[in-house]
Amino acid sequence: MTISVSGANKRYGDFAALDDVSLEIPSGSLTALLGPSGSGKSTLLRSIAGLDRLDSGTVYINGDDVTRVSPQNRDIGFVFQHYAAFKHMTVRENVAFGLKIRKRPKAEVAKKVDELLEVVGLAGFQTRYPAQLSGGQRQRMALARALAVDPKVLLLDEPFGALDAKVREDLRKWLRRLHDEVHVTTVLVTHDQQEALDVADRIAVLNKGRIEQVGSPDDLYDRPQNEFVMSFLGSVA
């Protein structure tokens, strides 16, 4: 599903969190929104999800104007940095939750959950509770839960930000493999240049609510369009 944002503006008082942002996110891509803290990444992601309301501008998903469509009706899976798991439910029940509230047949739910737990490497953890998982395992559970309802679009806001460096690196590789398997159009918010370069096939660089450049990791690295992109990517370790 192609996502298209056109002329998006969002202000908080005098402050422009999004300043006339237009962006095309190709179907099936894994696109990173990369920029320093406060550059508008989360605001843009939340606007795509329908969790933030734009002052002006339009969001299209697969050509349909969804700007005024509620988040529940946008067919989106969302994973935040601090994932709120249902603590009293097992891993299996957490992943099944969205399917159950949609009243899908039991056999279908069981099959889907089995498949997903396999995909995210948690097949042996079905009857554990979230508190019995590591931080990395919990975020993989969150991704399985988001994917359970076959969203058209998967939105990830710094999903690995709270984890330590080694786990983060493993999860990056894992997310890349997962994406190669499920091909769902994915948007990953990160302030970590290395993460964007490692994981994404396209990167949109944000700064002060504006998009500085959009391109493949190679494009950005080899042909930075301006000083900001050059110095921001230049700070990669």
Q: Which residues form the interface with ligand ADP (CB under 6 A)?
A: 12, 17, 35, 37-43
DSSP state, residue 70: -
CA proximity to 192, closest of 159, 136, 236, 139: 236
63 C-beta neighbours (distance < 10 Å), count: 8
185 binds, among ligand ADP, Mg ion, none (CB under 5 to 8 A by kind): none
Joined together, the tokens standing for residue 185 give 């159009």
139 binds, among Mg ion, ligand ADP, none (CB under 5 to 8 A by kind): none
Q: Minimum Å distance from CB 7 to ligand ADP?
A: 17
Q: Minimum Å distance from CB 140 to ligand ADP?
A: 23
Joined together, the tokens standing for residue 88 give 């009293």
Residues linked to residue 16 through DSSP beta bridges, in sequence order: 11
How does DSSP assign 77-107, residue by residue? Answer: EEE-SS----TTS-HHHHHHHHHHHTT--HH
142 binds, among Mg ion, ligand ADP, none (CB under 5 to 8 A by kind): none
For ligand ADP, the closer CB: 8 or 148 = 8
Question: What is the x/- site pattern for Mg ion, positions 101-140, by CB under 5 A?
Answer: ----------------------------------------
For ligand ADP, the closer CB: 117 or 158 = 158
Give first-to-last CA distance, the chain, whole Å: 34
For ligand ADP, the closer CB: 41 or 92 = 41
Contact by Cβ (8 Å): 32, 204: yes
Q: Minimum Å distance from CB 37 to Mg ion?
A: 7
38 binds, among Mg ion, ligand ADP, none (CB under 5 to 8 A by kind): ligand ADP
Decide the pairing of beta strands 153-157 and 210-215: unpaired
For ligand ADP, the closer CB: 43 or 185 = 43
For ligand ADP, the closer CB: 80 or 174 = 80
130 binds, among ligand ADP, Mg ion, none (CB under 5 to 8 A by kind): none
103 binds, among Mg ion, ligand ADP, none (CB under 5 to 8 A by kind): none
15 C-beta neighbours (distance < 10 Å), count: 11
Separation of alpha carbons 43 and 170, rounded Å: 27
How does DSSP assign 4-28, residue by residue? Answer: EEEEEEEEETTEEEEEEEEEEE-TT
List 29, 39, 42, 186, residue binding Mg ion (CB under 5 A): 42
By the criterion CB under 5 A, which residues form the site for Mg ion?
42
